[in-house]
Amino acid sequence: MRRAAHFLTVIGLLVGFYLLSLGLLAVLLVIDVLVTKELGDHPAALKIMVFCYLATVGVGLIVYRAAFVSTRMRKPPGIAVSPAEEPRLWARVRELAAVVGTRPPREIRLVPDVNAAVWEDTKLLGLIPGKRHMMIGVPLLLGLTRAQLDSVIAHELGHYSGSHTRAGALYTRTRATVVSAKLAADRNQSAGHYSGAAVWAALFAAYARLVLSVTQPAARAQEHAADRVAAQVGGRAAAASALREIPVLDAAFDFYLERYVAPGAAFKALPMPAQVLGGFRELLQDPERRAELDEMRAKPPKSELGRFDSHPPIAERIAAIEALPGTAAAPEGGDAPALTLLTNPTAALSGVGARMLEEVSAGAVGLEWDRLAATVGHALATERAKVVRTVVANQTGQPSSLGAFLGLVESGRLDHVLAALPLSDAAKRLGATGRVARELAKTRLKSYLYAWILIELAPAGRATWKHSWAEAGGVPVLPDELDHDLGEALAALLAITPDTAPLRGVLHRAGVLA
């Protein structure tokens, strides 16, 4: 009885949303008509009319977005793989669907996210089922075991099993509707194009809060129910460890994209399609990175859940899973890497990678990692060198050169150069002044100067950059002796009493200074 009442409340809230929206639109339209008719000749007419029309358009857009929020995606991410292309993966998903007791999806997409999901193109507020899709994040295939992936997929399919399905669909739909209305209203407000944007944003936000808080317990209960399904299918241990592993993979994947893929995008230099995601697997296998990942597993990153995230906190979910009765063990073969589910992993990784490249940077060149490191390393060093080169050019009134820089130092103007550099974060944080500020500025200068010297050495092949998983963004490579001498020379230059002679010597011997 109580459940039925709650169900009706939620239907009421959804219907209420449409009544609210349509009522609002109707009132605005009436005002538009009146304003147009009555104010025809008034001097301020045009201004007021435009104001009212814009308010109507603004609300209309918000309502449109909410009403037609579809679980269907206009441009779904990643690539679809057919049963012919990936028979093992399809077979496994179908088996899991059978165990869970729900229909298998009609489409499986591989996507470049640390995520897995099932969605349906439902009709009539989610009451009539439609085509079912599943997406599986490639990073999960690269980082999880088969048993862990089973539990993740079973969790997603679990959302479509059992008695809560229909109610769940309604709840999901209602939440999606009000949230997308709120987001559309927020966008209007920040864009500032439509009249009364702040008012609409507040109104739709308040309604969204009401709906979310009413449906929150049910949404979280659904997640727990799906976790129980996952534990039955993949075993308690795999289900719990997958939950532990996903935040780690998530952090690692963000790091990977940010440090290894994104830096080259600005210079139209990216990894080869198969390596865009394949590199993530190599990073996960790098010994130093593995040690760091182990550290993260021991100290899991705090997940920041919004107040209305449908998911309960991960620690709570793990505790609930571990408290379940029955077997903890994973099915046989569950320890194998999830990637072994793919029949043609190279094609899959290349396909998704190519898709990502199109999105990140059209027209970019795909490069092997070392070539990529050299290209990006040179480009970044050029940017870094520019900081000090600009200062030198400003202070000498001449094109910047290493010789001109050394001349500044020799004429006792190192402090002027240091003072002209942008403050480092450390100096800002400490509020550093005087000698402390000067020493921290020298640390910055060293990095800019080193970059400058590298790009001077690069044309003659005396310096380049090599790819390394342990050091993000590649490591500069130069002959050992030169590297050593350069280190000493920079130390002498940046000592309390600066000495330029060693650096002059090194640069002269390397052929980049007369």
Partner 1 sequence: MSVFTRRGQAPAQPAAPAAETTSRTIEPATYGYVAAADIDDKNVAAQPELDALARLAGAGDWPAIAGTLRGLERTDERRYAAIDKLGRLAAVDDGWLSAWLGAEPDNVDGLAVFAESLVHLAWEIRTANQADKVSADQWDAFFRVLKQVPPICRRATELAADDPAPHIVLLTAARGLQWKPDEYRALWAEVKKRAPHSATAVSRAVHYWKPRWYGSAELLAEFVDAEVGSAPPGSLLTPVRLDTLYFELCPDDEDERDAFRKGPRMAAAIDEAVADLAAADPTHPRLPYLRHWLAYLLQLHKRSSEAVVQFQAIGGYCGAPPWTIFANGKAVFTRSRATATLAWEDAGRPGPATVPHSIPAGA
Q: Name the residues that contact partner 1, by CB under 8 A.
A: 255, 288-289, 292, 295, 424-427, 429-430, 432, 434-436, 439-440, 442-444, 446, 470-472, 491, 494-496
Closer by beta carbon to partner 1, 107 or else 471: 471
- Sequence-distant (6+) residues with CB within 8 A of 202 are none
Closer by beta carbon to partner 1, 38 or else 471: 471
Closer by beta carbon to partner 1, 7 or else 450: 450
Shortest distance (Å) from residue 451 CB to partner 1: 15
d(CA 464, CA 475): 8
**What is each CA distance from 285 to 116, 248, 290, in whole angstroms?**
22, 14, 6
Shortest distance (Å) from residue 135 CB to partner 1: 27
Element (H, E) at 353: helix 345-360
H-state helical runs in 68-194:
87-100, 138-143, 146-158, 164-191
Q: Where are the beta strands (DSSP E) in 352-468?
A: 365-367, 464-466
Closer by beta carbon to partner 1, 288 or else 316: 288
Q: Which two tokens stand for residue 311?
A: 């998911």
Closer by beta carbon to partner 1, 80 or else 470: 470
Shortest distance (Å) from residue 289 CB to partner 1: 7
Closer by beta carbon to partner 1, 150 or else 485: 485
d(CA 25, CA 156): 38
Four-CA torsion 337, 358, 119, 105, nearest 10 degrees: -60
Contacts 24+ apart (CB under 8 A), 421-428: 421/387, 421/388, 421/391, 421/445, 421/448, 422/387
Shortest distance (Å) from residue 494 CB to partner 1: 6
Phi, psi for residue 66 in degrees, rounded to 5 = -70, -45
Shortest distance (Å) from residue 108 CB to partner 1: 32
Shortest distance (Å) from residue 47 CB to partner 1: 54
Closer by beta carbon to partner 1, 294 or else 335: 294
d(CA 238, CA 154): 12
Residues in the chain: 514
Shortest distance (Å) from residue 429 CB to partner 1: 7
